[in-house]
Amino acid sequence: MKDVLLLWQKMHYNIYRFNVFTSIYVFGLPIMLLLKNKYILEIYKKKGISNPEKLIRSTVSNSKVGTINWLTDGFMILFIALICFSILNFITIISGYVIWKNWSPLVFILLIGIPAIVINYFALWQNDKYLTYFKEFEKETRNMKRKWAWISFSLILGIFGLLIFSFYCINHTSRSKNSTSQAKEKAINDILNKAEDSLYQGIDKDSIDANIETRLEKIEDSLYKNIN
């Protein structure tokens, strides 16, 4: 259990680092370049800020405040929700009934979202637990950080892969059932056709059908005669 908890905390930490990196060097790059402009620097100097770029970076990477915390927590909730959804799909395969088929969107969100929030609360957020292990992980060597970054990335791919695999299994099971029912129906039709052929064995089926049609026509004519 401790290993699973450590793995989840490492993943949380690496997603946070990734969000900080993209916020500063990808989405925030135009702003960072703008802050290097001498006119902008003079404006900030008048406000008592000598290095606005450093200030923004420290603010963005602050693990106690900022929108990156919310973004990272949203990812962690999503990943647990995807795992729960995958489990529901495997239960569907075993039971043969799509248990979430008749759920309303609100019920579905609650039954998937609430466990995701509760699990992450006790694993990451309770008493600001994440601040403690963030400090511990920051002290690790670069090679160790790189190792856990790849492990976290692999885990994310595994979560999406598990969900895709669960849908594949549902689709495969459904096709197998359909093909089985079609095979049974074909077998029954073959038996009925053989039984019908055995009844007409040695007899011209076409002549029997023609004879029946002739008799029906005579009966019909007689009925009209009686009416007239």
Instruction: Please report, as a single letter, which amino acid is at residue 83.
Output: I
CA 86/CA 24 separation, integer angstroms: 34
CA 78/CA 108 separation, integer angstroms: 14
Q: What is residue 34's predicted lDDT score, i.e. its pLDDT? A: 78
Residue 228 has pLDDT above 60, yes or no: no
CA 164/CA 85 separation, integer angstroms: 11
Q: What is the pTM of this model?
A: 0.70
Confidence class for position 47, pLDDT limits 50, 70, 90: confident
Q: What is the 3-state secondary structure (H, E, C) of 120-158?
A: HHHHHHHHHHHHHHHHHHHCCCHHHHHHHHHHHHHHHHH
User: Which residues, including other chains, have CB under 8 Å from residue 200's CB and lie 6 or more apart?
Assistant: 208
Q: How many CB atoms lie within 10 A of CB 78?
A: 13
CB 68, CB 23: distance < 8 Å: yes
In the 8-state DSSP scheme, what is residue 28?
T
Mean pLDDT in residue range 119-137: 92
The helix/strand/coil state of 27 is: coil
Q: What is residue 122's predicted lDDT score, i.e. its pLDDT? A: 94
CA 148/CA 15 separation, integer angstroms: 11
Residues 128, 133, 139, CA angle at the centre, nearest 5°?
140
Confidence class for position 59, pLDDT limits 50, 70, 90: confident
Condensed to tens digits (0 to 9), the pLDDT of residues 72-124 reads 999 999 999 999 999 988 888 888 777 767 777 888 888 888 999 999 999 99
